[in-house]
Amino acid sequence: MGGVAHADALPGTVERIEPSIVSVATFQSTRSPRLRHLGTGFVIEDGRLVVTNHHVLPDLMDTENRERLVAVSGSGRNTQIHDAQMVVSTRENDLALLRISGPALPALALGDSSTVRVGEKFAFTGFPIGMILGLYPATHRATVSAHTPLAIPARTSRELDERRVAALRRDPPMIFQLDATAYPGNSGSPLYRIGTGEVVGIINQVFVQGGREAAVGSPSGISYAIPSAQLAPLLRQYRAQ
């Protein structure tokens, strides 16, 4: 009966979760399209702090043509663009915190990721294919299949230097391997408890057989999430600023 109860709880939980989900994007008024989706984020704390992945953020922006980092809330045609500023980031754990402008958004609660067990079922909500069909958050179910060492998604081969590889081999952070279909646009999506909506992880990568296109056309069904406990050092650093 527990599984049935969880399944019945999901629609109500998704309704509470969706207003806290944002698209992390860049905006440039002279570009077509003006918005370029980079990944997903979710709101915590005072409603103006967004969690996403470090690898989602652009290395460079065309500031001469006024390209800027933004978060887009809402869905469909009812959306709002918030200017965003990265305030804390860690490449090693692939996490980042953004401060956004505008009215406070509904915030999600962080749960205790240390209690997550292999075999438990969760859900995650985000923008798997970005804004191709408009901004519509999608929800997927996930089962934790293993606790496994983190492999940092590298945007360029230069990021995979010997020191970083050695550090990961010596003491790699542990993350959740998921039996779930996620897509590149899901990076930064919250992994949450179906019954309560408490966030226990952050989707950070998808196992890809082939190139980026293969992740969309032929998903492997293997995804990964960073435990929410790894946000604690970033939050301490942010509060100390």
Higher pLDDT, 175 or 165: 175
Tell me what pLDDT residue 163 has. Answer: 60
Tell me what pLDDT residue 215 has. Answer: 41
Tell me what pLDDT residue 104 has. Answer: 97
The phi, psi pair for 123, rounded to 5°, reads -140, 160
Instruction: Kindly tell me if the per-residue pLDDT of 162 is higher than 90.
Output: no
Tell me the pLDDT tens digit for each residue of 114-138: 999 999 999 999 999 877 777 899 9
Give the position of tokens 């984020």.
41
Instruction: Kindly tell me if the per-residue pLDDT of 236 is higher than 90.
Output: yes
DSSP 142-189: EEEEEEEE--PPPSSGGGS-HHHHHHHHHSPPEEEEEES---GGGTTP
- The CA angle 116-47-132, to the nearest 5 degrees, is 80
Distances (CA, A) of 39 to 114, 183, 186: 26, 10, 6
Tell me if 19-107 shares its fold with 113-229: yes
Beta bridge partners of 165: none
Higher pLDDT, 74 or 182: 74
Instruction: Kindly tell me if the per-residue pLDDT of 219 is higher than 90.
Output: no
Q: Residue 206 — very low, low, confident or very high, per pLDDT cuts 50/70/90?
A: low
Q: Kindly state the average pLDDT of the residues 200-224.
A: 63
- CATH T-level topology, domain 113-229: Thrombin, subunit H (2.40.10)
> Among residues of the chain, what percentage have pLDDT more than 70?
82
Q: Residue 71 — very low, low, confident or very high, per pLDDT cuts 50/70/90?
A: very high
Q: What's the predicted TM-score (pTM) here? A: 0.86
- CA-to-CA distance for 239 and 49, rounded, in angstroms? 11
Tell me what pLDDT residue 220 has. Answer: 54
Q: Kindly state the average pLDDT of the residues 187-193.
A: 98
Structure tokens at 66: 């006024």
Q: CB–CB of 191/177 below 8 Å?
A: no
Q: What is the domain partition of the chain in residue ranges?
A: 19-107, 113-229
Which parts of the chain fold into alpha helices (H)?
A: 2-17, 162-170, 212-217, 232-239
- CATH T-level topology, domain 19-107: Thrombin, subunit H (2.40.10)
